[in-house]
Amino acid sequence: MTSGTITGGPALRDPHTPDSRLGHGADYLHAEHTLRSWFFTTDHKRIALLYLASITAFFVIGAVTAGLVRLALVVPDGQVFTNDTYNKLFTIHGVVMVWFFLIPSIPATFGNFLIPLMIGARDLAFPKLNLASWYVFMTGALFTLASVVLGGVDTGWTFYTPLSTAFSNTWVVPALIGVTIVGFSSILTGLNFVVTIHTMRAPGMTWFRLPIFVWTHYATSLIFLLATPVITVALILLIAERAFHIGVFDPAYGGDPVLFQHLFWFYSHPAVYIMVLPGMGVISEIVPAFAQKKLFGYKFVAYAAIGLASVTFFVWGHHMFVNGQSDFASVAFSVLSFAVAVPSAVKVYNWTATIHKGSLKLDTPMLYAMGYIGLFVLGGLTGLYLATLAINQHVHATYFVVAHFHYIMVGGTVLAFLGGLHFWWPKITGRMYIEAWGRISAFLIFIGFNVTFFPQFILGYLGMPRRYHVYPPEFQFLNILSSAGSTILAVGYLFPMVYLVYSIWFGKRAPANPWDARGLEWTVPSPPPSHNFLTEPVAPKVPYDYPLQAQETGRQHS
């Protein structure tokens, strides 16, 4: 790239005008007010908000069904719902949370909003494609919601054959079509990010000057591109199986249901990193800002992101230890799975080393980030238990697994999402929320989460299987504890929905950089102007140029 000069488009404003003087109409939120200007926008920041609104709605659907599942599990005899209703509830919870919240959550909102700002670009490489991805997403959502309204699906989010093809009498096909379509929106988002990060960086913005957030989104986008098509084709085969009985997954004709699981997990295991990597990016931005300290081991963290995105493609078979895959394959997948711990641990050590001797400010985003680190460690370490063949035999398909992946998905991704939301909220909306409420919500969510999910480790270890709502009475105490925790969690979730929305109208106006953070996104006014940069962005010489810095080489003095 030879020049970052902005040519064409509306004339630039005088860069010396102070933020406060720009007034309304200057920023992307107030540039236009019509519905058309939102639904046909190609501004990456507005598209991010379209996504934010939609995934919040899906989060509510997923959370309500989770609440109903926990309600059912308060009593051991399964009297709250019929078996069918219970099956449909946990299926809706899984499908909606995985495909309509977790996967698009951070990339489609913060990724969309921040990547061009962080790399010093005016927009993503393909703005129309970006808008199209949202419409594709909503189309897929429509199909899936239709399947729920028509009567629901009872296969679980994994759609395993032969249950999904031969036995289920529910609305599987619309749900499958919905999930297939949503895959394309991921692909389009990933494609846009990959091309943007490669070609749209401002002059001087070399790879090792990029924030880790951009690195992790690059890694995530590669997974979007390389993994999603395989589940698309698996779901197409599943739809054909259900509609025409083509038989490739049907043992009655000599087909192999395990093949579906191979194709399914070739995507769905890397999908874990689609959910986790962007969260790691968020944490890598928050931690240095609130420790006022340079991110420890920047290059290691960057390489670890790419490492995770690659290693994750070699381990999918650890979801299939008890399904009839060969013993040799199980051993191979088990051994490879342990390798995932290495880049994950690199990240955790680097965050803790960044916090070490930092000048800490425990504001809301930092509270979420610290919660994230703790819960991610617990979720990650229990993942090692599950990768061990012998232990896996014992706890397979029990609540131990449920607890493990909720520590990663909720303790990891949701906390990172909320942390990021609080961190960039002033930038996105131009308003400050009330800090005290933010801290209360962070504590409530951390406590509620642990009370909900820690008992499930014990339940699973004692042998309570997932996906049943009838269980032996001796498990009732732990189940009630878990359900009680989920109500605390629900209150914790409600808080931000109230005080953040309140802040949009009544919050204090936010300065350009309320956290004294580094990164190009903090150099523009809050909220940013429609075309992002009033003056040509200047890439920082070093990323995370905070006042404090650890000595990375040689002995640590003092």
Which member of 21, 33, 245, 356 binds other proteins (CB under 8 A)?
245
Residue closest to 477 by CA, chosen among 78, 73, 83: 73
Nearer to other proteins, 127 or 511 (CB): 127
Q: Is 313 in the site for other proteins (CB under 8 A)?
A: yes
Phi-psi category of 291—alpha, beta or left, where left has phi over 0 and alpha has psi -120 to 50? alpha
Cα-flanking dihedrals φ and ψ of residue 55, to 5°? Answer: -70, -25
Please identify, among the stretches 78-86, 95-103, 206-214, 237-245, the one whose residues bind other proteins according to the rule CB under 8 A. 237-245
Which member of 21, 198, 394, 509 binds other proteins (CB under 8 A)?
198
Q: Is 468 in the site for other proteins (CB under 8 A)?
A: no
Alpha carbon distance 535, 19 (integer Å): 13
Token pair recorded at residue 283? 């944490």
Q: Is 20 in the site for other proteins (CB under 8 A)?
A: no
Residues 102-141 that bind other proteins (CB under 8 A): 121-123, 125-127
Residues 264-303 that bind other proteins (CB under 8 A): 266
Q: Is 414 in the site for other proteins (CB under 8 A)?
A: no
Alpha carbon distance 414, 105 (integer Å): 9
Cα 173 to its chain centre, rounded Å, is 26
Alpha carbon distance 401, 383 (integer Å): 8
Tell the smallest beta-carbon distance from residue 264 to other proteins (Å). Answer: 10
Q: Is 381 in the site for other proteins (CB under 8 A)?
A: no
Nearer to other proteins, 244 or 505 (CB): 244
Nearer to other proteins, 319 or 469 (CB): 319
Please identify, among the stretches 86-94, 173-181, 276-284, 328-336, the one whose residues bind other proteins according to the rule CB under 8 A. 328-336
The total of other beta-carbon atoms located within 10 Å of residue 326's CB is 10
Q: Is 15 in the site for other proteins (CB under 8 A)?
A: no
Which member of 230, 276, 355, 415 binds other proteins (CB under 8 A)?
230
Alpha carbon distance 198, 216 (integer Å): 14
Tell the smallest beta-carbon distance from residue 397 to other proteins (Å). Answer: 19
Cα 235 to its chain centre, rounded Å, is 22
Amino acid (one-letter) located at 424: W
Please identify, among the stretches 24-32, 52-60, 286-294, 326-334, the one whose residues bind other proteins according to the rule CB under 8 A. 326-334
Which member of 16, 35, 169, 328 binds other proteins (CB under 8 A)?
328
Alpha carbon distance 446, 374 (integer Å): 10
Which member of 31, 60, 332, 345 binds other proteins (CB under 8 A)?
332
Alpha carbon distance 140, 111 (integer Å): 21
Q: Could you tell me how many residues make up the chain?
A: 558
Q: What is the dihedral of CA 129, 130, 132, 136, to 10 degrees?
A: 120
Binding site for other proteins (CB under 8 A): 1-9, 121-123, 125-127, 187, 190-192, 194-196, 198-200, 225-230, 232-234, 236-237, 240, 244-248, 253-256, 258-259, 262-263, 266, 313-314, 316-317, 325-329, 332-333
